[in-house]
Amino acid sequence: MGSPTAPPPNVGPVMNSTQAQAMAPGRTKMRALLADRERRARVWDQIAEGMSVADIARLNGIPYLIFYRVIKDQCGDEYAAARAAYADSLVKKNLDLADSIEAGRVGAPEGKAASGIRQWYAERADPDTWGQKSSMNVHHTGVIGLHMQALRDFQQEQEVEAEDAEFEEVVDYDEREVPTQQDDPAGHPLL
């Protein structure tokens, strides 16, 4: 398998004390950023304007990994809203670009290339709104589906009828009294 000192599978690398000490100032700065509403709002504005998370982390002096994990885990809704705003701005730019192409200020090939790039970024920034839908929600019932539904309906009707039916008690053979020779020898068929 692996060496005895290797971490078990699916477990990230273990930090030594030096690495942990190096990360501590980043965590402290991140806590301060989250506590300051103004700075926090500026981060969401920067994301909405299209600045990368790595650049924002660098500007705030916070290691990227800490910054990204915290905004993704603790501020997920705000982060998603900022990314959606960025995606919307890209789509608006695409509409402006389409107007420029129609007016002849931008050539069609150049406009198509720029539009494709913006669309790609919009799909990644807000996949729920601008992403390509990979599946369709189509309900189709063919002959087999109709047959299966008829069988289900029939079974359900039978269950309802069985619940409403009156049953007579059936005596089990082992519970009945069976006459023996000693009880009634004259009734024996061989006598």
Domain limits of the chain? 15-74, 79-131
Average pLDDT over residues 166-183: 59
For residues 88 and 99, give the distance between their C-alpha atoms in angstroms, rounded to a whole number: 17
Query: Quick one: how far is CA 128 from the chain centroid?
Result: 11
Tell me: pLDDT of 91 over 70.
Answer: yes
CB 62 within 8 A of CB 34: no
Average pLDDT over residues 5-13: 51
Percent of the chain with pLDDT over 90: 6
pLDDT given for residue 31 in this prediction: 85
pLDDT given for residue 11 in this prediction: 47
pLDDT given for residue 167 in this prediction: 61
Tell me: pLDDT of 163 over 50.
Answer: yes
pLDDT band at 61 (very low <50, low <70, confident <90, very high): confident
For the chain, give the mean pLDDT. 77
Q: Is the pTM of this model over 0.85?
A: no
Angle, in degrees to the nearest 10, between helices 64-74 and 17-35: 50
Distances from the Cα of 47 to the Cαs of 23, 89, 95, 119, 123, in angstroms?
A: 23, 11, 21, 17, 15
Question: And the tokens for 119?
Answer: 């669309």
For residues 62 and 82, give the distance between their C-alpha atoms in angstroms, rounded to a whole number: 20
The residues near 29 (Cβ < 8 Å, ≥ 6 apart) are 60, 61, 62
Tell me: pLDDT of 169 over 90.
Answer: no
Average pLDDT over residues 134-146: 68
pLDDT given for residue 85 in this prediction: 92
For residues 64 and 43, give the distance between their C-alpha atoms in angstroms, rounded to a whole number: 14
CB 86 within 8 A of CB 125: yes
pLDDT given for residue 3 in this prediction: 47
pLDDT band at 46 (very low <50, low <70, confident <90, very high): very high
The residues near 127 (Cβ < 8 Å, ≥ 6 apart) are none
Average pLDDT over residues 171-190: 57
Tell me: pLDDT of 83 over 60.
Answer: yes
